[in-house]
Amino acid sequence: MVDADACPVKHIIIQVAREYKLPVVMFIDTSHLLDDGYSEVVTVDQQRDSVDIALINRTNPGDIVVTQDFGLAVMVLGKAARAISQNGMIFSTKNIDRLLCERHFSQKIRRSGGRTPGPRKRTKLNDERFESALREMINQSGFD
């Protein structure tokens, strides 16, 4: 399952899923178009968190979810599923609290007029790390 609105690794997900013969469900809102010829695409309205709600409602234990949203990752972990970021970071009960705290402090800084660093430009190394972590997650989940 993929939080696909701003996901830069959809092509990697499809490539790997085809190799393993795994189904893929991409969740987008109506401001996006997606047709990769392989995945099921679920399109929802543009209301805040519509994609997240639709995705979590379809998540089952053992599923793999690709998202960069820490809040969604928490819900995924709560459903005994696994979550991975577009950069290959595997979300777990060991790192999610720290990530949520960092997000909270960054939001406080921005609300008070401060600035926080934006995301770095995506590199080929990011794609390689994501693919490697995704393959490892699939193999550990017994999908191979």
**Residue 94, pLDDT above cutoff 90:** no
- State which of 49-58, 108-117, 119-128 shows the largest mean pLDDT: 49-58
pLDDT band at 11 (very low <50, low <70, confident <90, very high): very high
Percent of the chain with pLDDT over 70: 90
**Residue 97, pLDDT above cutoff 80:** no
b/e map 85-100, b = 16+ CB within 10 Å: bbbbbbbeeeebeeee
What does the pLDDT read at residue 13?
A: 97
Q: What is the pTM of this model?
A: 0.83
Mean pLDDT of the chain: 88
